[in-house]
Structure 1
Amino acid sequence: MKITIIGTGQVGSTIAYAVVLQGLCNHLVLAGRNLTKAQGDVLDLQHTLSFCERPMTIESSAIEDVKNSDILVITASAKGQGKMASRMELGVANVEIFKKLIPLLVRNNPQALLVIISNPVDVLTYLATQLAGLPSSRIMGVGTLVDSARFRVLLSIEERIHPDDLRTYILGEHGPNQFPVFSNAFAGSERIADNPAHRRIFHEVTEAGFDVYNLKGYTNFAIATAACEVLKTIAYDDHRTMPLSTYFKEWQGIEDNCFSIPVVVGRAGIIRHLHPNLNQIEKNALGKSAKLIKDNINNLINAENNKSV
């Protein structure tokens, strides 16, 4: 399997390191605008292989020379300026990057699955689906997978239960318009209550990414680990369930939108959409979130279209 990472900033480099440690492919390519940085990462990663169980070809490439990948992991992004209050701040610049990047990548890698990391991930996953001309099942954003993981970790501290034994999702936008699904949240078949303490934890999760970003200037470890969970599921055809950002024509009565919903993932990409029974609080949150997310999608993509006229 050939995995190519587009963008070799903090996130791309950390994903590459995790891919090598986990042995998720036999051919790894690092591609970015800064080819010197990519070459440096390649050498550094090659030096780790003697400590890894699986041999791997690791090389760098210019983006236009990336071809015949099985999976494209897209982390390319404009650089944030100072402290960040919203992922939408990267929107206009990253829409422009994707309009140039996606057609080129799909043309040279027609069989690839696309895993979108760049923010705002829901807008960019929607745009990538429009630009690529591929089935939406082959394009997915990591989305609220990382938010759900943060949620489980903080809940595990509160409940004193291992996070992997908690089953709870955050759905919607990877951003402020997300919502928890307490009606389907369980630990050992016992329901995780929708109470003030757990709501406080959810609100902490909504801000957690910004807390990390504003403390050290970027986030990389959690998002890289979440990305590798998706890559592993694809590589091993595991048919795992996870919340990922995906374009859909209709889900739970919401039409023509793109945000994180529960899906089943395997070698073919997103195999099916799951449809949990939501309570009225969650249905209301879904409707409100869906409208705000679609407004963001329309405003950013249309803003860039108007800019280029």
Structure 2
Amino acid sequence: MANQTNRVAIVGSGFVGSTYAYALMNQGIAEEIVLIDINSHKADGDAMDLNHGKLFTPSPSKVWNGDYSDCKDADIVCISASVSQSEEETRLTVVEKNTSIVKSVVEKVMASGFDGIFLVVSNPVDIITYATWEFSGLPKERVIGTGTSLDTARLLFKLGEYFQVNPSSINGYIIGEHGDSQLAAYSSVSICGKPLMDIVNSEPQYSLADIEKIAIDVRDAAYHVWDRKGATYFGIGMALARITKAILRNENTILPVSAYLDGEYGFHDVYVGVPAIINREGISKIVEIDLIKDEQEKLAASVNVLKSTMEPIFKPEAT
């Protein structure tokens, strides 16, 4: 990463990609933002629209409609290009279509001479992140998926509402697939340093049934948003910006992302949502939180869902 100016290239200027660019500008995270889309006319319109608001941003980011050659000097290339997921589909049912798309994208990005970090948001994000890693040949630490970052934010928001506490005072994670097999690792959740389960078990106004329902609501949140507005993009755009900030500012912040497991949690050769330390080099370290037996079994089931879906395409090594 010899480039002195932080450049983020966004491949796919749809709802998610353009919202990500908007979040980057509003927070002054990147000096240069390149929008790349098969619909160049649309990407050009997004760049124009963002530039018109430059006066109101913390710093005057340079934004333009570019092409794959602009990825050469990028610190981060975000892959948000994908086919749209209908309300009748799950994230996993679009895997073959999006794997084909990401193969083409990665080949073009790598042909530019890119040597930075891939940040993947296209669904199913864990599998598409694996595909990006395999097609790019980059070290696993420099290929990161958004994973369960948004799911975790949704969880902390809902718990904050329930316990009437600012979500920033709650520590905990959704782990596993960014999808229907995800799990809330409640045994390690704490509120102001006090274990969540201790609070639930000791204070009668709270119940296990309520927090189990919160986990279900978080799992199904995307479907509820789709039912109301047809797509999700504000939350994930902000999650992308947060991960980007942790990378470019070398924060060593722990975030739940889709990371490659090579023995961590007892699994191999799979990308899955887990907490990880994020800095300028990408994933510095995967954080292995303590899980109770039930959570370990649910995580294993989630990994198996991903591996069985991947197998016809990648045939990953058996654990």
* TM > 0.5: yes
Give the secondary-structure state (helix, strand or coil) at the position aligned to 1:263. Answer: strand
The more displaced of 281-290 and 262-271 is: 281-290
Any stretches of 5+ residues in structure 2 without a counterpart?
1-5, 201-207
Does the aligned pair in 2 maintain the 1:152–1:166 contact within 8 Å? Answer: yes
Offset of residue 109 of structure 1: 4.2
Distance in 2 (CA, whole Å) between partners of 1:84 and 1:196 is: 28
Summarize the alignment of residues 123-134 of structure 1 with structure 2, pairs less than 5 Å apart: 123-134=127-138
Alignment match of 2:156 (pick from 152, 159, 169): 152
> Deviating runs (4+, > 6 A) in structure 1?
none
The more displaced of 256-265 and 85-94 is: 85-94
Counterpart check, 1:186 vs 2:216? no
Distance in 1 (CA, whole Å) between partners of 2:222 and 2:142 is: 26
Distance in 1 (CA, whole Å) between partners of 2:269 and 2:156 is: 30
Residues 61 and 243 of structure 1: CA distance in aligned 2, closer, same or farther (over 3 Å): same
For 1:93, the equivalent position in structure 2 comes to 97
The more displaced of 110-119 and 194-203 is: 194-203
For 1:305, the equivalent position in structure 2 comes to none
Alignment match of 1:173 (pick from 163, 171, 177): 177
Identical counterparts, % of pairs: 29
Alignment match of 1:204 (pick from 217, 221, 241): 217
Any stretches of 5+ residues in structure 1 without a counterpart?
303-309
Distance in 2 (CA, whole Å) between partners of 1:222 and 1:53 is: 21
Counterpart check, 1:25 vs 2:35? no
Give the secondary-structure state (helix, strand or coil) at the position aligned to 1:161. Answer: coil
Distance in 2 (CA, whole Å) between partners of 1:252 and 1:11 is: 31
Summarize the alignment of residues 59-138 of structure 1 with structure 2, pairs less than 5 Å apart: 59-63=64-68, 66-81=71-86, 83-138=87-142
> What's the CA shift string for 1:98-152, capped at 9, x where partnerless?
1111122123143210000000001101111111111110001101010000001
Does the aligned pair in 2 maintain the 1:26–1:56 contact within 8 Å? Answer: yes
Offset of residue 80 of structure 1: 3.0
The more displaced of 285-294 and 181-190 is: 285-294
Does the aligned pair in 2 maintain the 1:257–1:290 contact within 8 Å? Answer: yes
For 1:162, the equivalent position in structure 2 comes to 166
The alignment's C-alpha RMSD in Å is 1.4
For 1:273, the equivalent position in structure 2 comes to 286
Distance in 1 (CA, whole Å) between partners of 2:7 and 2:98 is: 25
For 2:205, the equivalent position in structure 1 comes to none
For 2:8, the equivalent position in structure 1 comes to 3
Give the secondary-structure state (helix, strand or coil) at the position aligned to 1:164. Answer: helix
Residues 236 and 183 of structure 1: CA distance in aligned 2, closer, same or farther (over 3 Å): same
For 2:262, the equivalent position in structure 1 comes to 249
Does the aligned pair in 1 maintain the 2:7–2:31 contact within 8 Å? Answer: yes
The more displaced of 250-259 and 111-120 is: 250-259
For 2:50, the equivalent position in structure 1 comes to 45
Distance in 2 (CA, whole Å) between partners of 1:172 and 1:253 is: 13
Counterpart check, 1:290 vs 2:295? no
Offset of residue 65 of structure 1: 5.2
> What's the CA shift string for 1:148-167, capped at 9, x where partnerless?
00001011111000011111
Offset of residue 85 of structure 1: 3.6
Give the secondary-structure state (helix, strand or coil) at the position aligned to 1:244. Answer: strand
